[in-house]
Structure 1
């Protein structure tokens, strides 16, 4: 079970870090998506910092499971909020956020299952 946890954790952490980098470098596609769902430009770096914190927490959780559980819960909530933002503005491009919410949920389940 640890191998599955390790793989899901590293993939999700990598995606979070790549997403944070795109936000911090002001990637045009990311900015357009954020604008579409109504995220103010000055809040975008804060979303990137949350993603970085989630990635760090997930990786730290490989060494101490309570941190991993807390980080996974935070990442699930982050992407649930992203899905909600897309739904609120009737944006049909919510599949990436929904998919990542499911991957984060898988990371959480893998964390709380007995080894």
Structure 2
């Protein structure tokens, strides 16, 4: 395992974890767009839980790589779904935001393959 892989994985997990906490505390900058996209409020805790599980899975993957792979796949599906949701809502100016979370997750995965 390389230092770069470890650092990027930890930063990606912290970044995704921050996003999960933002959903749980109903941060205005997160929940207002969710409502604008038409995401039902009853789904918000599940979305936060999925992000939190993914963040923990990335960290666990540093010890048990298969868990990291599963977390990466889950988070990639999650943030791809977020891209589709944003596009479907025609909030094209918000499309970069899911990519800001997806990119470090994919980066950590690629660095893990190279290590």
Q: CA deviation at 1:76?
A: 1.1
3-state DSSP class of the match of 2:94? coil
Q: Is the 8 A contact 2:16 2:101 kept in 1?
A: no
Residues 30-69 of structure 1 aligned to structure 2 (within 5 Å): 30-69=30-69
Distance 1:99 1:28 in 2: 18
Q: Which residue of 2 aligns with 1:93?
A: 94
Distance 1:35 1:14 in 2: 25
RMSD across aligned positions (CA): 1.3
TM-score normalised by structure 1 residue count = 0.91
Q: Which has the higher contact order (CA 8 A, sep 6+)?
A: 2
**Count of matched residue positions in the alignment of Structure 1 and Structure 2:** 114
Q: CA deviation at 1:99?
A: 2.4
Residue ranges of structure 1 left out of the alignment (5+ in a row): none
Residue ranges of structure 2 left out of the alignment (5+ in a row): none
Q: CA deviation at 1:111?
A: 2.4
